[in-house]
Amino acid sequence: MKRLWPDSLYGRLVIILVAGMLAAQVLTSSIWYEVRHGQVLEIPTRLLATRLADLLLLDRRDPKQAVALMEALQAPDFQLLDAPPNPPPTAVGDADRNREELLREVVRERTGETPSLRLLGLELLDPHGQPATLPVLFGTTPSSGRFLVELQLPSGRTLYIQATEQQGWTSSSPLLLLFDYILRIYLLRIFVVVLIALLAVRLALRPLKQMAAAAEALGRDIHRPALRLDGPQEVRQAAQAFNAMQQRLVDGMAERTRFFAAVSHDLRTPITRLRLRTELLNDEAIRQRFRDDLQHMEEMVAASLDFVRSGELEEARERVDVGALLQALQADFDDLGVEVRVSGQARAIAVHPGGLRRCLQNLLDNAMHHGSGPIDIDVDDSREQLCIQIGDRGPGIAQALLDQVMEPFHRQDPSRSDGNGRYGLGLSIARGIASAHGGTLELSARPGGGLLATLQLPRSTVTS
């Protein structure tokens, strides 16, 4: 049963609407039964009304001749009774009262006067004279209507007439009738209701889909535009709460950054005092160790603050020429004696310029300190995303540790002691910047040896 129940709210609402429609259709099928029942009895009712009208006209002209004719008409399908049958017939239902009105209407049209008659009993019979069941309504064999009528003649005599009139033949087969009923009443209606339900549910759920997309985008860009406050009241309230939550997150992250910046600023004062006191030491070896430790502390504070700010790029987005940026980085590393080879071209893209530069700088620093030989940069640009791969020929990283090395302050081995990698923050900062742009940063083993860092920036998110 769970397999038939859709996982999406969209599918569940459609199934509920269609199932509700089918249930309502089944419950209202009695209406069709009554209509079909009346159609089958219409011809027998009109035939009987014609007979009754002839009796009334004859009795109005010559009562004695009318009595003789009625006695001559006695037959199994037309009987005159002196009194109502005992026991009395089953009471006529409200639906059969329409047959009584039809009798009066046809008699009035033929005689010019409204007759005094009552329909005391009415049964629909199958070809064998038994009470008809549902298949008879779909059948081609003739059915009959057995009437019990109380009629008052113009001469004053009251007659009780029990007559059986046949429906006649129909050219339609039962299968065609059944197919027509199912096609028009069920299949066509189901198709229309499903179509309307799909459109209506899609329109109703569109604000929820937008909110889900906004929640997913919020994880990539905390500064994304707020949701529009439109749609149904419940959706507007949810969007308002979502916007308030986003603003609280932005304020909380800004407060965290300000707090960390204040702590970093305050730490620099005692570090400066320690530097001054270090210079008063007489032993040069001890003095140099103090200098190294203080330098290490200051760099760690700066790197930590840089990591905190990596996911909060406050500068405005600008269209940046990626090719020119990579060439500038290539020139910087050439000055350091490191060969950087760039292949591929990219169109301009809207990014935070300083953030993207810092991200690529950290990746190149990581490749320089832990690799050997030239660094290769491959650029692949498409309509959907910009992909930049930076590969080195170093010892690489074990597959099981690829995710761990991008965690803050994680150092795989003592060799990570230079540059940004010395505190295990370089890759973490790069990943934070990629996430802030709505992209991803992944590490993998490079074919032929070494490490491959893949930066992907979706243009649908980051382009202006």
In this predicted structure, what is the pLDDT of residue 176?
63
Q: CATH 1.10.287.130: does it fit domain 233-309?
A: yes
Per-residue pLDDT band for 2 (boundaries 50, 70, 90) equals low
Distances (CA, A) of 409 to 358, 366, 424: 18, 14, 4
**What are the pLDDT digits (tens) for 292-315?**
788 877 777 776 666 665 555 556
In this predicted structure, what is the pLDDT of residue 140?
58
**20 and 207 in contact (C-beta within 8 Å)?**
no
Q: Enter the CATH code of domain 318-462.
A: 3.30.565.10
* 288 token code pair: 């140099």
In this predicted structure, what is the pLDDT of residue 418?
43
CA distance 446 to 2: 44
Res. 42: pLDDT tops 50: yes
In this predicted structure, what is the pLDDT of residue 386?
93
Selection from 159, 145, 39, 29 nearest residue 92 by Cα: 145
Res. 156: pLDDT tops 70: yes
pLDDT, average across residues 67-77: 80
Lowest mean pLDDT among 70-79, 149-158, 208-217, 278-287: 208-217
CA 80 to chain centre: 69
Per-residue pLDDT band for 274 (boundaries 50, 70, 90) equals confident
In this predicted structure, what is the pLDDT of residue 219?
62
pLDDT: is 442 or 314 the higher one? 442
Average model confidence (pLDDT) across the chain: 77
Res. 279: pLDDT tops 50: yes
DSSP letter string, 92-155: PPTTTHHHHHHHHHHHHHHHSS--EEEEEEEEEE-TTSSBP-HHHHH-SS--EEEEEEEEE-TT
In this predicted structure, what is the pLDDT of residue 310?
54
Res. 332: pLDDT tops 50: yes
In this predicted structure, what is the pLDDT of residue 221?
63
Return residue ranges of the chain for CATH 1.10.287.130. Answer: 233-309
CA distance 106 to 111: 9
Q: Which amino acid is at 380?
A: D
Return residue ranges of the chain for CATH 3.30.565.10. Answer: 318-462
Res. 419: pLDDT tops 60: no
pTM above 0.75, yes or no: no
